Amino acid sequence: PALLNISSSVSDNFANISWIPGSEQTDSEFYIAYMNNRKGNWKISEAVNSFKTFHVIEGLEPGTVYTMRLMTNNWVDNSSIFEDVIRTRVKVKEKEDLHPDLESQGMHDDTFCEYSDNDEKPLKGSQHSLSGQIKAEDSGDSLVDYGDEDTQFNEDGSFIGEYAGRKEKRVSMEVKGTNNQSTA
């Protein structure tokens, strides 16, 4: 039988062999043989109709290498139409159990989600004075250094009317400047 674009996709415990029937395809049957490469014993599927576009082989062992063959007859020594060597995937949980990740060890502790408000440690990079007081001129706060005392803030910390206030002052100064120029 003429089968085109034969391919395989693999999961942790099954493999999907797919194909496209050829244009001159007649109604015929073929078989899929597969072997666990560690154990060395072949298993052969039931007869598969060539007009079907895929066949799923279930019950495979995770993380195992298999050899797959598509054959015209149901004995292994027959020449195959297609042969592929696949490796089934390993489940994430099994992979974690085999190779524990040291960084995620704390995630499995019972204390992972606990929170204590007793830890009143300063943030890294925060400013402290020796006397415990911060002077206005030493502050890293831009409002103290640059802002007016009348400046208002939104809840998100943005300035309300930051640009509008300055624009109004500029306009009033321009008007005064223009008036001074015209009278001078």
Q: What is the CATH number of the domain that holds 44?
A: 2.60.40.10
Domain endpoint, select from 45, 71, 87:
87
Alpha-carbon span 15 to 86, nearest angstrom = 9
pLDDT above 70 (res 137): no
Mean of the per-residue pLDDT values for the chain?
A: 71
The residue among 15, 60, 71 whose CA lies nearest residue 36 is 60
pLDDT single digits (tens) 55-98: 999 999 999 999 999 988 766 666 788 899 999 998 776 656 66
Alpha-carbon span 22 to 4, nearest angstrom = 6
Cβ pair 33, 71 in contact under 8 A: yes
Let me know the angle formed at the C-alpha of 14 by 6 and 85, rounded to the nearest 5 degrees: 50
Token reading at 7 = 């391919």
Q: How many CA atoms lie within 13 A of 51 on its CB side?
A: 4
Confidence at residue 8, expressed as pLDDT on a 0 to 100 scale: 92
Burial of 97 (0-12, 13-18, 19+ CB in 10 A): exposed
pLDDT single digits (tens) 10-48: 999 999 999 888 777 667 888 999 999 999 899 999 999
Is residue 41 in a domain? yes
Query: What's phi and psi for 8, nearest 5 deg?
Result: -135, 145
List the domain range (segments joined by +) for residue 162: 146-179
Is residue 121 in a domain? no
Residue 50 pLDDT level (bands cut at 50, 70, 90): confident
Residue percentage of the chain with pLDDT more than 70 = 46
Is residue 124 in a domain? no
Collapsed DSSP state (helix, strand, coil) of residue 149: coil
Is residue 118 in a domain? no
Is residue 157 in a domain? yes
Work out how many domains the chain is built from and give that number: 2
Q: Which residues contact 122 (CB under 8 A, 6 or more apart)?
A: 128
